[in-house]
Structure 1
Amino acid sequence: MTLTVPPGDFAAYLFDCDGTLVDSMPLHYAAWCQTLDAWGCVFPEDLFYAWGGRPVAEIIASLNEQQSLAMPVDEVGRLKEERYQELLPKLTAIAEVVEHVDEAYGRVPLAVVSGSTRESVTASLDALGLLDRFDALVCAGDYANAKPHPEAFLLGARLLGVPAQDCLVFEDTDMGVAAATAAGMAAVRVPPPWAR
């Protein structure tokens, strides 16, 4: 896989986490399936990937609505996170993206901007020895409007003290790229697992 980086000098790099820095999407999907099975909820894999970047609570609420279920959002979210944590030993990094982290580390400020919980992001990055590379983490709960709204990326830029137009975003979802574009940032599209 070769990532196409737009031309220019960027003053900061912002990275999505799941599916961008870490190859966690298959593990998240397994955790979802194991958790939702207890409520008789079905989460098709194509829908899971289409909803990449959406906050956990929003996913559960949408599944409840679609399937006329009443799953307790907080409990399901907690159980899903516990199952994901159990799968962390299987987690791998996405090498081509981590190369950009290594190249930029110490040269420009770096942030992770994710729709996942801080607990999940921290655990994933820590499991791969990447947590200390980032100057800021922006996670679910830090902002009101999820991707494709630009709020999370704009917050990341503010925390790094860099104007939005000087930031480069690495993202694996359409919603994430749309959020970066709406924030006035250039973006690198990371292909999904089946396209690598």
Structure 2
Amino acid sequence: MTMPASLPADIEAIIFDCDGTLADTFGAHFRAFRDILADYQVAFDAEFYHARLGLSRYQLLEDLKQTQGKPFDEQAVAERNTAAFLKHLSAIRPIPYTHDILRSQYGRLKLAVASGGQRPIVEATLKAIGVRDMLDCLVTIEDTGVGKPAPDLYLLAAEQIKVDPRFVLAYEDSDEGMEAAERAGMRVIDIRPFYRTDPARW
């Protein structure tokens, strides 16, 4: 789906995914994993990570273990991830395509984020790109316990901003996210034709 010339007239709210949709967090996440895994003498390169962006944290680490054949504690790596990520906030960049949409609709429509990420990371990310205070609500995995492609994150966000899902437009960068928004009864726009991160930078 491509970006419409203008928003549908009946849209009352926009709900954005965070990572890869509002913010390019590839560099921060990559550096965090790289730093932690170095303690286990496990190599972690940008191309490997980029090819597996749709995986959960634990799926990614399991795949890495299978690929390299080196033992490490996935649980320990996951538990250290938030603190490591927060050391690399300077690597986060706003994604121009969605950043411009959010700013243009601030004060006009209800604006929210529905992310499958951990709240401390999502909060820090949104503050890093200067949009946290522009949102009417933020829903993360801690609020539902269920990630995408289940519709729970989007449904809860719509409930909190008091807008019927039929009148919500969602922006996503993954197949799982698009499915989640569609299952919630929302219209959704795939931003991938308009923005892709460049792993070569890292």
TM-score normalized by structure 2?
Answer: 0.81
Partner of 1:32: 33
In the TM superposition, residue 21 of structure 1 has moved relative to its aligned partner by: 0.7
Instruction: Give the gaps of 5 or more residues in structure 2.
Output: none
Measured in 2, the distance between the counterparts of 1:43 and 1:165 equals 42
> Relative to 1, partners in 2 of residues 1:52 and 1:166: Cα closer, same or farther, differing over 3 Å?
farther
Measured in 1, the distance between the counterparts of 2:109 and 2:172 equals 18
C-alpha contact (below 8 Å) 1:171/1:187 kept by paired residues = yes
Partner of 2:93: 92
C-alpha contact (below 8 Å) 2:22/2:98 kept by paired residues = yes
Partner of 1:128: 129
Q: Which of 1 and 2 has greater Rg?
A: 2
For residue 170 of structure 2, give the secondary structure of its aligned residue in structure 1: strand
> Relative to 1, partners in 2 of residues 1:161 and 1:57: Cα closer, same or farther, differing over 3 Å?
farther
Aligned CA-pair RMSD: 2.6
In the TM superposition, residue 33 of structure 1 has moved relative to its aligned partner by: 2.2
For residue 115 of structure 1, give the secondary structure of its aligned residue in structure 2: coil
Q: Does 1:193 align with 2:197?
A: yes
Q: Does 1:176 align with 2:192?
A: no
For residue 189 of structure 2, give the secondary structure of its aligned residue in structure 1: strand
> Relative to 1, partners in 2 of residues 1:4 and 1:167: Cα closer, same or farther, differing over 3 Å?
same
TM-score normalized by structure 1?
Answer: 0.83
Alignment of 1:79-158 (within 5 A): 79-158=80-159
> Relative to 1, partners in 2 of residues 1:27 and 1:92: Cα closer, same or farther, differing over 3 Å?
same
Q: Output one character per residue of 1:81-125: Cα deviation in whole Å (capped at 9) or x when no partner.
A: 222211112321111211111111111111111111110111111
Measured in 2, the distance between the counterparts of 1:187 and 1:72 equals 34
> Relative to 1, partners in 2 of residues 1:28 and 1:108: Cα closer, same or farther, differing over 3 Å?
same
In the TM superposition, residue 48 of structure 1 has moved relative to its aligned partner by: 3.7
